[in-house]
Amino acid sequence: MIPDSLRQLLDATQGQREAEWQGRRVLLFNADWGELAVSLQGAQVLHFRPASEHGDGWLWVTSTPQAVPGTIRGGIPVCWPWFADESPDGRGPMHGTARQAEWRLDGVDDEDEGVEVHFSPTTRLDEQLTPRVVIHASARRLHVELITEHLGETPVKLTAALHTYFTVAHAHQCRIEGLAGARYLDKRLDFSEAHQQGELGVRGPLDRIYESNRPLVLDDGVRRFKIAKQGSDSTVVWHPDTDLPGDTPTDAGHRFLCVEAACTRIDPVWLVPGAQHLLATTLTHEDMPQ
């Protein structure tokens, strides 16, 4: 589900250009392979639609985002160098510093039936770690990589997420296949532990961290998204149901569901000096070739 104002910018785009949306610079692509919109605040994918599809695209984004320096709810926020409220001192911003920061466009590589786009932050976001984001968009898939490099001198604990908001027909019609039997922590129940009985159907509010690196399918009764990932043993599933955040219009709350590739308290990454970590998510439709 794409806001009308962003839709108008994409309709006025031929090829590649930068524009301003909601006080932020955005990078826009409207090409033979499809459409892509990325905010340079946070290197955040806001919209993706392959040319073979019609309608709103694969990702939901709010039409009423917070004013800068606040963040944009929707698309694929980059949560780094910590997930949720897990900052080392307990005082950092929710989901880390990367999503509020300004990023630069480092390069655009045209590919067969698509594009590869590279981003890095304009300022240092951590004393020892540095991130990069690489986005591959094509007529067949959307692939997002978050690459963390350790340039310091002592080991560092890292948590992170690619916080994907899928556009769905209705959250309560959704079924996520591939989590049956997985252990999870339920944030709504003070992180109590349980195991998923059968496949996951969404019938109300959810905020769970599943211990799983399996590929998944999100079925909303209309489309079936295939969700694969790398460098992650946590899958976060989140939907607030009727308890919507203030930046989410009431009539839009049922139109998204978050299924996230993450490294969380279940599987934090310890990076040693000189090491790298790759967290990635790959989205396709079940009937599309890989």
Domain count, the chain: 1
- Residue 290 forms part of a structural domain: no
What's 70's domain CATH number? Answer: 2.70.98.10
Domain extent, residue 200, equals 4-285
Q: For a pLDDT cut of 70, what percent of the chain falls above it?
A: 99
Q: What is the mean pLDDT of residues 196-209?
A: 96
By the 10 Å C-beta count (0-12 exposed, 13-18 middle, 19+ buried), 158 is classed as: buried
- Residue 15 forms part of a structural domain: yes
pLDDT at residue 223 is higher than 70:
yes
- Residue 150 forms part of a structural domain: yes
DSSP string, 90-125: S-SPTTBSTTTSBEEEEEEEEETTEEEEEEEESS--
Name residue, tokens 């006080």.
23
- Residue 176 forms part of a structural domain: yes
Cβ-based neighbours of 89, under 8 Å, separated by 6 or more: none
pLDDT at residue 9 is higher than 90:
yes
pLDDT tens-digit map of 105-150:
999 999 878 999 999 999 999 999 999 999 999 999 999 999 999 9
pLDDT band at 198 (very low <50, low <70, confident <90, very high): very high
The pLDDT value recorded for residue 287 is 67
Asked if 263 contacts 232 with a C-beta cutoff of 8 angstroms, the reply is yes
pLDDT at residue 288 is higher than 80:
no
pLDDT band at 286 (very low <50, low <70, confident <90, very high): confident
- Residue 245 forms part of a structural domain: yes
The pLDDT value recorded for residue 90 is 73
The pLDDT value recorded for residue 290 is 47
Cβ-based neighbours of 116, under 8 Å, separated by 6 or more: 108, 109, 134, 135, 136
pLDDT tens-digit map of 253-266:
899 999 999 999 99
pLDDT tens-digit map of 174-189:
999 999 999 999 999 9
Least confident of 87-101, 111-125, 211-225: 87-101
- pTM for the model: 0.95
Looking at per-residue confidence, does 237 or 92 come out higher? 237
Q: Average pLDDT, whole number, for the chain?
A: 95
pLDDT band at 289 (very low <50, low <70, confident <90, very high): very low
The whole-angstrom separation of Cα 41 and Cα 243 is 26
Q: For a pLDDT cut of 90, what percent of the chain falls above it?
A: 86
Q: What is the mean pLDDT of residues 159-185?
A: 97
pLDDT tens-digit map of 14-73:
999 999 999 999 999 999 999 999 999 999 999 999 998 888 899 999 999 999 999 999
The pLDDT value recorded for residue 191 is 97
